[in-house]
């Protein structure tokens, strides 16, 4: 007989312990002109499922199921040498350019109008980035007018001639991308970038003071300038931006799977440091403004594993179960920070570091990481609750002792529904899970669903021939004496839904 897990984590939840409203822009994604994300990813005019605009309908259906809310475009590193004018107007007249970021040819068959119209058809909120690498204030305000101005200006009328009379009304704009990174075309010091972001932000806000602008933060917590970059940049552009970006990619460095499973710990420390730095800058200015974080690139990226891949396919990750559990855990962490993370974009949407894979001319399928994203986006309830709890810790080489349980609870005050997302971060030890529901004035609960991502083989993957090898399965949560109880196998992600009976 299975004796069950040796140790348990217990949490107490209460509808009064509110962190904040769930920010649905946390379920964002990212489409970059990189590898096969755009071409043969979302766009493939010769594909049997292509719509009249050349976009794949099979991919669109999977994106709808995945449930992203906001999508960043067109890069990424790509944007830092991109001339947006190359991607508008009649397709046959668009220039083929050399893409300096990724060392490939860019045909410009997809550009601003195609992306924005595609997003609108799918009900996605677009989020645009402007080029602050090879371009500057002028290009940014011209793109802004092309995209958002009412008819009657030269640029908005040009948009009208290109088939889009109504403004797109894009609200969130990134002021460049990863400008702290030496790999970035037009890489800058924080002083140089802060000044350019200040000038660009000021000019864009002249056009529309209600825009939400994102200053580039660090492209990783390990960057040598991390911390001072954010401070110096915000000291310059504080008045003109609402958000500062953060980017993080995680992998099991040196085979350290246990630290990898605890990657959310790094994300937590990253967010806390950026919030502290932004609040420090606010304090020096005697300002009550709360700069929020746009975590506009995050994911698992096992760069080491792909080092020998063909150029252009290095980031075509084929994700396994343990990586899906980490993705679920990173989403938990973002939700826990709903009060200070305003936007988060999983990088990316299709083929490159992506939940969806496609074969040119062939099928599209769900990767393992598709499932925690889709279930979290679909089921997370509108209010995020803080949890009080206790349980075993695990020792990690990279982060020291961390809680074995990683979880977040969301609540719907209108329906009374409670949705808990939980991860057992141990690579080898099962965990019992107990939730004290006593804080809710609910006489009787019903368990709506308990879904789990786990597998005997933590490296199992989905492939074109076995696209459903890994998918959510039923867990064993049950209710007893005002408590929820469940067993969490090692390396597992869970979505548990409860409702008043």
Q: What residues make contact with ligand AHR under the rule CB under 6 A?
A: 32, 34, 75-77, 177-178, 219, 297, 347-348, 353
Shortest Å distance, C-beta 32 to ligand AHR: 5
What's the half-sphere exposure (Cβ side, CA atoms, 13 Å) at 350?
28
CB of 283 or CB of 303, closer to ligand AHR: 303
CB of 211 or CB of 315, closer to ligand AHR: 315
Grouping H, G, I as helix, E, B as strand and the rest as coil, residue 317 is coil
CB of 132 or CB of 381, closer to ligand AHR: 132
Write the CA distances from 495 to 17, 412, 421, integer angstroms: 20, 15, 5
CB of 237 or CB of 248, closer to ligand AHR: 248
Grouping H, G, I as helix, E, B as strand and the rest as coil, residue 383 is strand
Q: Is 199 annotated in the active site?
A: no
Do 233 and 217 meet the contact criterion of CB atoms below 8 Å apart? yes
Give the C-alpha separation, 115 to 109, whole Å.
Answer: 11
Active-site pick, 125, 251, 297, 333: 297
φ/ψ (deg, to 5) at 393: -115, 160
CB of 177 or CB of 492, closer to ligand AHR: 177
CB of 243 or CB of 411, closer to ligand AHR: 243
- Cβ-proximal residues to 309 (8 Å cutoff; 6+ apart), any chain: 316
Shortest Å distance, C-beta 231 to ligand AHR: 21
Active-site pick, 106, 114, 139, 178: 178
Q: Which alpha helices (H) appear in 174-320, and where do they start and end?
A: 190-207, 228-237, 257-261, 263-284
Query: Could you tell me if residue 478 is left (phi over 0), alpha (psi between -120 and 50 degrees) or otherwise beta?
Result: beta
- Cβ-proximal residues to 461 (8 Å cutoff; 6+ apart), any chain: 318, 319, 320, 321, 367, 368, 469, 470
CB of 178 or CB of 242, closer to ligand AHR: 178
CB of 244 or CB of 353, closer to ligand AHR: 353
β-bridge pairing 383-385 and 393-396: unpaired
Shortest Å distance, C-beta 421 to ligand AHR: 24
Query: Could you tell me if residue 195 is left (phi over 0), alpha (psi between -120 and 50 degrees) or otherwise beta?
Result: alpha
DSSP 8-state symbol, 498: E
Give the C-alpha separation, 34 to 263, whole Å.
Answer: 25
Nearest residue to 177 via CA among 111, 245, 241: 245
Give the C-alpha separation, 412 to 15, whole Å.
Answer: 9
Write the CA distances from 37 to 30, 267, 358, 371, integer angstroms: 9, 25, 9, 19
The residue of the chain with the least Cβ separation from ligand AHR equals 76
CB of 245 or CB of 492, closer to ligand AHR: 245
Look-up: residue for tokens 């710990």?
Answer: 265
Residue 375's H or E segment, with its range, is helix 370-379
Shortest Å distance, C-beta 129 to ligand AHR: 9
Shortest Å distance, C-beta 280 to ligand AHR: 26
DSSP 8-state symbol, 461: B
Shortest Å distance, C-beta 243 to ligand AHR: 16
What's the half-sphere exposure (Cβ side, CA atoms, 13 Å) at 406?
30
Give the C-alpha separation, 100 to 27, whole Å.
Answer: 30
Q: Exposed, middle or buried: residue 394 (CB in 10 Å: 0-12, 13-18, 19+)? A: buried
Q: Which two tokens stand for residue 273?
A: 């440091």
Do 211 and 204 meet the contact criterion of CB atoms below 8 Å apart? yes
Q: Is 178 annotated in the active site?
A: yes
The catalytic site residues sit at 178, 297
């Amino acid at each position: 007989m299975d004796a069950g897990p040796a140790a348990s984590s217990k949490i107490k939840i209460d509808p009064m312990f509110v962190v904040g409203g769930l920010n649905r822009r946390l379920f964002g994604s990212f489409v970059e002109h990189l590898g096969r994300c755009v071409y043969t990813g979302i766009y493939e005019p010769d594909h049997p499922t292509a719509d009249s605009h050349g976009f794949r309908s099979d991919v669109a259906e999977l994106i709808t199921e995945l449930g992203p809310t906001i999508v960043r475009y067109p890069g990424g590193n790509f944007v830092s040498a991109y001339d947006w004018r190359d991607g508008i107007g009649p397709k046959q007249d668009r220039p083929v350019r050399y893409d300096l970021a990724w060392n490939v040819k860019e045909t410009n068959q997809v550009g601003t109008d195609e992306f924005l119209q595609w997003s609108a058809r799918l009900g996605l909120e677009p989020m645009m980035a402007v080029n602050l690498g090879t371009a500057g204030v002028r290009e940014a305000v011209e793109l802004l007018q092309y995209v958002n101005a009412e008819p009657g200006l030269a640029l908005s009328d040009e948009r009208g001639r290109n088939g889009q009379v109504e403004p797109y009304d894009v609200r969130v704009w990134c002021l460049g991308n990863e400008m702290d990174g030496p790999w970035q075309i037009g890489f800058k010091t924080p002083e140089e970038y802060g000044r350019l972001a200040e000038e660009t932000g000021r000019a864009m806000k002249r056009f529309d003071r209600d825009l939400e602008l994102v200053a580039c933060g660090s492209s990783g917590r390990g960057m040598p300038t991390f911390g001072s970059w954010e401070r110096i940049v915000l000291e310059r552009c504080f008045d003109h931006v609402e958000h500062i970006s953060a980017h993080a990619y995680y992998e099991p460095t040196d085979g350290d799977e246990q630290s990898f499973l605890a990657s959310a710990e790094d994300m937590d420390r990253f967010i806390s440091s950026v919030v502290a730095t932004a609040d420090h800058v606010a304090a020096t200015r005697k300002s009550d403004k709360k700069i929020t974080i746009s975590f506009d690139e995050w994911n698992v990226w096992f760069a080491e594993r792909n080092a020998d891949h063909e150029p252009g396919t290095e980031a075509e990750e084929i994700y396994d179960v343990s990586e899906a559990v980490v993705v679920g855990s990173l989403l938990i962490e973002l939700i826990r920070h709903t009060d200070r993370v305003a936007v988060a974009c999983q990088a990316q949407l299709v083929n490159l570091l992506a939940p969806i894979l496609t074969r040119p001319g062939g099928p599209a399928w769900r990767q393992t990481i598709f499932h925690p994203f889709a279930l979290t986006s679909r089921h997370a309830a509108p209010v995020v609750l803080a949890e009080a709890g206790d349980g075993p810790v695990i020792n990690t080489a990279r982060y020291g002792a961390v809680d074995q349980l990683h979880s977040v609870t969301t609540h719907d005050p209108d329906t009374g529904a409670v949705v808990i997302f939980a991860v057992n971060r141990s690579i080898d030890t099962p965990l019992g899970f107990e939730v004290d529901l006593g804080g809710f004035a609910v006489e009787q609960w019903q368990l709506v669903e308990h879904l789990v991502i786990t597998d005997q083989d933590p490296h199992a993957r989905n492939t074109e021939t076995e696209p459903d090898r890994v998918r959510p399965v039923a867990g064993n949560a049950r209710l007893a004496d005002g408590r929820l109880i469940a067993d969490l196998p090692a390396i597992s992600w869970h979505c548990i839904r409860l409702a008043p009976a």
